[in-house]
Structure 1
């Protein structure tokens, strides 16, 4: 099993549409959005350049680093993974992250190709990605899967993440370098 990570490119956008509209991904990602080529370009176009545009507190757009990759298994694209400084982006639920360590990445991933689910590919990819990419810049990594997403929680636990807190909607998990 040869897992590699390719930086996100515009040529991957059709894959993102396919994956983000797949029922097993849609269950956890952007349920209220119907992805189109235009929406993918709008959201992920800057990710290709390693940045995300956000509204700052003054109503202006600011740029923050984000690192987006395609997960490949034996050179076949099977999923998406990204990381960023957890303090650069507000959580969708508005939770206060101040109790997290200073050098902490936030991480999101999904396996888009359904035939690779349940085969430990996600946890293996995660371990490799942390070593090759995230822990080159950060000392900790934070994830916050939905409390009902037991497959993701198991994959994170297999990759060494520990539960640190729970809300009614999320499990907070962290892994140290």
Structure 2
């Protein structure tokens, strides 16, 4: 079995540029919309976290722009943007894990019971939540809240970590491509 040949630097460079631009714009759009919605809903912590996340998208776009101008240090911006985004999301998830809003969920219990009752009638099934009292429902809400933010943190570590690794591992090929395009040493 023969070894796989190394990728062509120009193709690696173009792929890194595409990924960085797409990912940076997506992060900016999603986080920007999230910031507006959080601010409109009165969640200051979520709005600040979303603004910081949008800033990491801008960092990634800046890194891709530096690469487009032939500056090899743009890869540093790409890697740091991913690591900073991971930190911001992990900090927000940790804050959520330590600040469960029990009052909000208590207010939602009547709506939740009404919704599940309507759904059970519509689908002609027994409502499994009828057997739970309010304290048990609150425990269920707390467990779901904890599970949600634990999964968010776990997925963030994997995704942003792999994105940072993706950019870092292609640093040499990007440098070669820039040397070919721009004569950068």
Q: TM-score range by the shorter chain?
A: under 0.3
Report which of the two has the higher share of strand. 1
Report which of the two has the higher share of helix. 2
TM-score, with length taken from structure 2: 0.24
TM-score, with length taken from structure 1: 0.24
Determine which structure has more spread, i.e. the larger CA radius of gyration. 2
